[in-house]
Amino acid sequence: MTVRFGVFVPQGWQMDLTEIADPIEQYEAMTAVGKAADAGPWDSIWLYDHFHTVPEPTMNSVFECWTATSTLARDTSRVNIGQMVGCNGYRHPALYAKIASTVDVASHGRLYAGLGAGWYEHEWKAYGYEWPELKDRMGAFRESVEIVKKMWTEDAPVYHGKYYSIDKPINEPKGVRRPHPSFWIGGGGEKVTLKLVAKHANACNVGGGDPALIREKLAILRGHCDTVGRDYDEIIKSTSIRIDPAWSKAETAAKVESVVEAGADYVILYIPRVAYDHEPLLTFASDIIPQFA
């Protein structure tokens, strides 16, 4: 199996820019990682859609996801650029679709448009978004996925749901990729999220690098695909791994091999301290990626 690889750029969310004082230099450090990936064998670069740091909110820089996506689209020329994943609660789905269409054009068709239900409660409340019960977050997410697809594929889409409505919004241009921008749905929810993947998505992201969980979620996804008549093999199955810089090359390769054996065909890495040192990024590209080509 040929495996493709992506890498998160240092955006601030995981406290990964705190050793740089100047915000311009912080942004350029993020961009520099994107450019380094663009020059190598990486398929993609990724951002988080969050406003506050983890594991707790601190007074530190976190660059906004879609703004950064659009600038990285112009600072690179080859890699795809995605969000793992966009938070549904932060933008009306019609606006999300319009933003994504614009960025797909700006990147010459290199957008991986990520969407998920969202989970970071304090962040929602801090920014003035209502924090719904889980059933309502998932209900709104289901409607959003349907609206986004309509916005990307219909000239006069109409939708009247419990949570959202649209009435023939014009979305031109719709994007570059056909039939629509590459749509990545993140999350392993078995009753809603994985059903939406089977019906609507180009790709999923499951398991958080845990082989057992990847197997479990992908088996459920395959069942949903069978139910709706979707070809399971046409869906990209991604997972995310946090690389420990102390790992040997053999340990790193073994970790990747474990998620590939579990069914993942796309691996997205988070590399700590890559803002300050590109060497782990370059070493992975030269020594690990070729093993899975």
For residue range 218-270, what is the model confidence (pLDDT) as tens digits?
Answer: 999 999 999 999 999 999 999 999 999 889 999 999 999 999 999 999 999 99
Record the pTM: 0.95
Residue 95's pLDDT is 98
Residue spans of the domains in the chain: they are 4-292
Q: Which CATH superfamily is domain 4-292 in?
A: Luciferase-like domain (3.20.20.30)
Average pLDDT, the chain: 97
pLDDT of residue 293: 86
pLDDT in tens, 125-169: 999 999 999 999 999 999 999 999 999 999 999 999 999 999 999
Using the Cα atoms of residue 36, residue 38, residue 42 and residue 46 in order, give the sign of their dihedral.
Answer: positive
Query: Distance between CA atoms of 190 and 100, rounded to whole angstroms?
Result: 26
Q: pLDDT tens-digit profile of 82-133?
A: 999 999 999 999 999 999 999 999 999 999 999 999 999 999 999 999 999 9
The string of DSSP letters for 20-49 reads ---HHHHHHHHHHHHHHHHTTT--EEEE--
Question: In this predicted structure, what is the pLDDT of residue 162?
Answer: 98
**pLDDT score of 77:** 98
Pairwise CA distance, residues 227 & 232, whole Å: 11
| pLDDT at 281 > cutoff 90 | yes
What mean pLDDT is predicted for residues 180-209? 96
User: Distance between CA atoms of 202 and 255, rounded to whole angstroms?
Assistant: 25
pLDDT reported for residue 245: 84
d(CA 202, CA 181): 9
